[in-house]
Amino acid sequence: MRTVNDFIDYFKIELNNREESREIMSFISLLLYKIRGYELADIIVKGEDSLNEDELEFLLKATERLKNGEPIQHITSFVIFFGSHFKSDKRALIPRPETEELLEWIIISNSSGDYNILDIGTGSGCIAISLKKRWPKSKVEAWDVSIEALELAKENSSINNADVNFLEKNLFHHPFPDNMDIIVSNPPYVTISEVCKMRRNVLDYEPGVALFVPDDEPLLFYREIALKACRSLNSQGSLYFEINRKYHIQIKEMLLEMGFINVELRRDLFGNYRMVRAIWPGGDLDIS
């Protein structure tokens, strides 16, 4: 195996029974981008280019790691999210396309670009950093309980030249800052009973603290965030969640009962209810 095409043929054989053909080509593209900076068009044109020993060693090890279920993003150490490069490793959840859809909704729905923004459970920092890059004049604060995740988020902030205030805070122990215009969260929402349906590369390589909630409290994080958002948001401020599709009705009803208005659910590209937006009309919260 000496050329790019040789590796492609080898990789397809090795992964053939494990992944769909579209995903296999995506893996190939990411690996060759990692070692050569090749785009998809380059792969087609430069298929007969020779690979050196270091490149071959990396590609062979990467193939084995993928066969063992390790996420491609951890092997390449990066992910492209909303057009920007983010470092990705086991310290935080891998940024996903559904979250890009949520981010796009936030940006389309808010145009001025001068906001006070709070991101709860920031993980890799992908939401907070992307919003800061989109609206440089905004003040963006982002919380997480994981020191390791915050270290990764700060590295990503530096890579993307985005000035975000990252803080180690537990949302159950701290009030939100006042005068927020936008609060956004992609909190833990996978119930323990759903673990059997999850893929190995998620369970073995991504932090459980960012994924799971008890079966008897599936809205645990949503409720706490919404309660504190009521006291934190300015009048007509917006609350955005990425959600568990199983509980979209319950989440909408909860927000309406708290006094939020214009509560809107939105489907992702696969047709699943994956996000919700709610507007706080102002005034004091009445939960009696």
Q: Are residues 252 and 171 in the same domain?
A: yes
62 & 95 share domain:
no
> Do the domain assignments include residue 84?
no
Indicate if the pLDDT at residue 203 is higher than 60: no
Q: Is residue 52 part of a domain?
A: yes
Same-domain pairing of 46 and 105:
no
What CATH number did the domain enclosing 157 receive?
3.40.50.150
Percentage of the chain lying above the pLDDT 90 cut = 74
> What are the start-end ranges of the H helices in the chain?
4-15, 21-36, 40-45, 53-67, 72-76, 97-109, 126-134, 147-159, 200-203, 220-232, 248-258
**Does some domain include residue 287?**
no
Under the banding of pLDDT at 50, 70 and 90, the label for residue 1 is confident
Last residue of a domain, one of 35, 68, 101: 68
What domain range is 27 assigned to? Answer: 4-68
Q: Are residues 110 and 55 in the same domain?
A: no
Task: Determine, yes or no, domain membership for 252.
Answer: yes
What is the bridge-based pairing of β-strands 165-168 and 139-144? parallel
pLDDT, mean of residues 9-13: 93
- Does 256 reside within a domain? yes
> 117 and 58 share a domain?
no
Residues 121 and 184 grouped into a single domain: yes
Q: Do 157 and 246 belong together in one domain?
A: yes
* 238 shares a domain with 104: yes
Tell me the HSE value of 2 on the side-chain side, using a 13 A CA sphere: 2
Tell me whether residue 263 is in a domain.
yes
Asked whether residue 270 is assigned to any structural domain, the reply reads yes
Residue 181 within any structural domain of the chain: yes
Chain segment 94-146, per-residue pLDDT in tens: 998 899 999 999 999 998 779 999 999 999 999 999 999 999 999 999 999 99
What is the distance between the alpha carbons of residues 7 and 23, in angstroms, rounded to a whole number? 16
With bands split at pLDDT 50, 70 and 90, how would you rate the model's confidence at 205?
low
Counting the structural domains of the chain, the total is 2
